[in-house]
Amino acid sequence: MRWQHARTGRQRRGYATRTVTAVIDDTEDIRAHSQASGRSYGQGRSSWRMSGAAGGLRPTRGAWCFVLLLGLVVPGTAWAHVKYFEDSSRYPLRTDLILSDRTALWLGASLVGLLLLYFAQRRVGSSRWPELGFLRRMAIGAPTLLAVQAAIGLVHAATQPTLFAPNLPLPINTLGLTLAAVQLLVAFSFITGLADWLAASVLIALGPLGFLLFSPFDLVEQLYWAGIGLVLLVLGRSSIDGSQVRPWFRRRHPAAARWAVTALRLITGLAIIAPALGEKLWDPGLGGAFLADYPQFNVFHAYLGLDWFSNDVFVLVAGIVEATIGVLLMSGLLPRVVILGMWLPFNLGIPFLPPQELLGHLPIFGIMYLLLVYEPTPTLPARGPADGPNLLPATVQEEPAGMAGVWSRAV
C-alpha cells in the first residue's frame, strides 16, 4: 500500500509538472506569435520611446508617420448628409458624370491614398497601429454602445415615421406604421438586451424590404444598418469587448467575431461611398442646393475668403475626399488611422445643422468607435498529443491582447 501511495504521489507530481510545462509552452506560443506579428508581450504598446538622461518621451518614426497620415486623411471640409435637408427628387442623378473626370479624380485620389496607407503599414509593421493600451480599455462595452446608439437612431426614425433616415419617409398607412413599430421594437430589444438576436435578424431583413419602397441608391446609403445587425447577431449586445461571440457561432466558426467586424467595416465603407457619389460627385446640383441653404459649410469661401473656392469646387472636393475615405476604410489598411481621420469631418457640421444630422449619424459614430477599439487576436496553432494537456480555455483564441485572465462568456 505504501508503495502504491508513493507511486500515486509521484504520478500526481509528474502530472503537475507536465501541466505547468504545458502552460509554459502555451505562454511561449503566445509570446512567439505576438513577436511574429510585431507585437510586444506583457508590455504596453506605444509609439513613443524614452530618450535622454531625464527619461523624456520622444516620438518614433512610426508616430511621425501617423501624424503625417492623419494630416493627409483629415479633410478641411465638414460632411453632411445632404439628402436629410434637400429634396433629392428635384435633382436627379446625372448618369453622364459616372464616366467623367470627376470619377477619374476620385479613383486617382483613392489610389494615392491606398499607396500611402500601404507603405505606412509596412513601415509600422501592423494593420492595427497605433496599438495603445488605453484603446483596449476603451473596447470594454463597445458592442453595447453600438446597440444603444443604433436604438436611438431607430427611435428617431420610427417617430417621424421614416425607415432608417429622414430621406426615406414611410407612408401613413398600415405598412408604414407597421415598419415604424418594428423599428421601435428593435430599438427596445437593443436597449434592454431582450431577444437581441431576434432584433438583429429583423434589422438585417428590413434592408431588403426597403428596396420595395425606395430607390436602390438611397438604400445603399443605409447599408450600415445591415452591418450593425450582423455584428449584434454574431457578437450579441452584451459581448464584453467584441471578441466574444454567441455560443452557436463560437462552436461553428471560431473566427466569427473577426468576420462580423470585417463585414461591418466593408459595408460601412460602401455606405460612405454611396452618398459621396449620389450627393456630390454624380449629383453636383444637389450638393450645390445644400450649400445655397448652408453657405457656412464652404469654410474656404465663407471664412478664409478664397473666392476661387466656389461651391462647385467645394462639392467636388468634398465628394472626392468622402468617397476616398470609404475606399480606404474598405481596404483594411491601418483602419484606426482612417477612423481617426473621419472624426473631424463627421462631427464638424453637427453644430450648424438641425438635430437630425446628429441623430442620423449616431449609429455611424457607434460603428466608428467599435472599429477603432476592436482588436482581433490570432488563433493559436493546434497542439499535438505529445505537447501535453492544454489548460488554456478554448476561447483564448478570441481573447483580445492584454485581456489575459478575462475569459469569454456565453452571451
pLDDT tens, residue by residue, 69-116: 444 444 444 556 788 888 888 999 999 999 999 999 999 999 999 999
- List Cα–Cα distances, 304 to 76, 133, 309, 321, 351, in angstroms: 12, 39, 10, 20, 19
pLDDT of residue 44: 39
Query: What is the model's pLDDT at position 78?
Result: 53
pLDDT in tens, 188-228: 999 999 999 999 999 999 988 888 889 888 899 999 999 99
Buried b / exposed e along 153-176 (16+ C-beta atoms within 10 A) = bbbbbbeebbbbbbbbebeeeeeb
Mean pLDDT of the chain: 77
User: Per-residue pLDDT for 406 more than 70?
Assistant: no
In this prediction, residue 88 carries a pLDDT of: 86
Residue 36 pLDDT greater than 70, yes or no = no
The pLDDT of residue 348 is above 80: no
Residue % of the chain over a pLDDT of 70: 72
